[in-house]
Structure 1
Amino acid sequence: MKDMSDTDRRFATTLARGLSVLRAFRPADDGLGNAEIAERTGLPKSTVSRLTYTLHSLGYLTHARHGERYRPGPALLALGNVAAASIGFVELAGPIMQRLADETRTLALLGVRDRGRLLLTKVWRPAGVSSIWLDVGHRVPIRGSSSGACYLGALPQEMLPRVVDEAQGDRGLTSETAAAIRASAYDQLFARGFAITDPAEYFAANIHAVSTPFHPRDLSEPVVFTCGALPEDLTVARMEAEVGPALRAAVRELETALGHAPGPARR
């Protein structure tokens, strides 16, 4: 974890380290011990022990017995519910995106930036159809995903250096590669309203995906809606001719329901 305390006196390093512990947890985890949290966060195990003790005392982590692996606690669940309720578009998007998932037979996703990656905060699985393995809590790389390219394409230019800095070189993301990805995605968004990363560059060979941005009024940067499926079920031709336009139409429906003007692609 990058320490900003040397460059910004307002930065509270202890708080940042505590939050990094909470962010270490993934949906598939059956709890985590201090050693595993230390490995994932890059923090010393002694520091992790103090942080997990404090977070457990406050209810943000829990374990049934002494020495057992930690799991997210009830205070964290309550905090997440408050956050979800305060971002008004998420609940309204649910029925629209579920219908899109069912009609296109793809997994529909909502991604928001979490430092150097996009965090999947909602998924809508198609009824009666097997879908890809991505789930809430997964973090998708910016370089090598349609979601990441779409995010960069919709991002104001002045925010790009910060995003690159926080990615810390993840999958080779540099200022130059980010600018190139952004320019390509911007052209796609301007021309057709959705972005597709070349499958040859994708972070996982068993995923094809197409993405469209959404600009919430209560957030300072875009979020990304994505449809994804196995390559044999979601060819590039199908993304371009069918699923991409359907995704863009679904996001426009959400914008209309919220009284938003269509979100522009931004230079």
Structure 2
Amino acid sequence: MTPLPDTKDRRFATTLARGLMVLRAFRASDDGLGNAEISERTGLPKSTVSRLTFTLRSLGYLTHARRHDRYRPGPALLALGNVAQASISFVDVCAPIMQRMADETGTLALLLVRDNAKLLILRTWRPRGVSSLWLEAGHRLPFAGTSSGHTMLAAMSEELFETTVANALGDRGLTQERANAARRMAYDQLITRGFAITPPDQYFAANIHAVSKPFHARDFAEPVVFTAGAMPDDLSVARMEAEVGPRLNEAVMELERMMGQPPSITLRN
């Protein structure tokens, strides 16, 4: 569940935000969702979800298709997504770079963006011919206890960091002190070696090892994160430090050069 931002700004449209929560509840592997499932994923009352799904279906953002008890993303949402992807130039440019890195390292490559109090997987690249982690676009990760989350915290502006942590407090035991420590540790790693690895004893899930690096796209006002991950037996800390981390760093630097952008992490004043 992704909670609404804690905002008292009168300009904030709560009904619109709840409608978008419904759309974000869908994952690529879903065979449709009923109102009860959407309610469970969003934390919204079922009566509220029922009104929102009816409205979104009327506007074409959801469809019933041939099964009238389960909703799926509709044509209007597909069109909106295609427009968004076409307007964000780095996504297509990074695809062959990340696929090549995934194939060379045998790791699952991920592109993640901030989604309020969580990280949202936007794209994945699976290594060809290698069994890899089962994570998909639409899956959400916590900020606490992930290399992706700690890297994102390190790359944020101070203002965005404070807002994000305020919304994510309590998720996976996140406190302000833990967020500050994770931000400092990841930032120091990014400055000294170009990638960040959260110590495995801090991971929220013991079956995933991962290394991450941020990217500041001109299309976005905030950073995104690229991550390479695998099962611990296939991706030891030593291998992350000596092989996969440097390879991920090279991949993101190649993307920066192709996009004509400066390094994503620099020394703070």
Change (3 A) 1:142 1:3: closer
What is the identity, as a one-letter code, of the residue corresponding to 2:43? G
Q: Deviations over 1:159-203 (max 9, x none)?
A: 211011222421122222111100010110111010001112212
Aligned equivalents of 1:160, 1:262: Cα separation in 2: 20
Secondary structure, in 3 states, of the residue corresponding to 2:131? coil
Q: CA deviation at 1:3?
A: 6.7
Which residue matches 1:189? 190
Q: Is the 8 A contact 1:101 1:108 kept in 2?
A: yes
Deviation of 1:2 after TM superposition, in Å, equals 3.3
Residue in structure 2 matched with residue 152 of structure 1 by the alignment: 153
- Structure 2 match to 1:131: 132
Contact 2:107 2:228 in 1 (8 A): yes
- Letter of the structure 2 residue corresponding to residue 53 of structure 1: F
Q: CA RMSD in A?
A: 1.5
Q: Describe the SS at the equivalent of 2:41.
A: helix
Q: Which residue pairs with 1:198 in the alignment?
A: 199
The alpha-carbon distance between structure 1 residues 3 and 150, as it changes in their structure 2 partners (threshold 3 A), is closer
2:40 counterpart SS class: helix
List structure 1 runs of 4+ shifted beyond 3 angstroms.
1-5
- Corresponding residue of 1:42: 43
Quickly say closer, same or farther: Cα 1:198–1:4, change in 2 above 3 A.
closer
1:33-182 alignment to 2 at 5 Å? 33-65=34-66, 67-182=68-183
1:28, distance to aligned residue in structure 2 (A): 2.8
Is the 8 Å Cα contact of residues 4 and 17 (structure 2) preserved in structure 1?
Answer: no
| Matched-pair identity in % | 68
State the number of aligned residues: 266
How far has the Cα of 1:25 moved from its partner?
1.5
Spell out, residue by residue over 1:40-97, the C-alpha distance to the aligned partner (whole angstroms, 9 max, x if none).
2222222111110010011111112474211111111111111111111110001111
8 Å contact kept, 1:24–1:37: yes
Residue matched to 1:12: 13
Read off the aligned partner of 1:195 and give its amino acid letter.
A
* Corresponding residue SS for 2:22: helix
Q: Distance in 2 between matches of 1:114 and 1:3?
A: 10
Letter of the structure 1 residue corresponding to residue 177 of structure 2: E
1:256 equivalent in structure 2: 257
The alignment partner of 1:212 has SS state of strand
Q: Structure 2-normalised TM-score?
A: 0.95
Extract unaligned runs of 5+ from structure 1.
none
C-alpha distance in 1, partners of 2:152/2:41? 25
What is the SS of the residue equivalent to 1:122? strand
Counterpart residue number, 2:210: 209
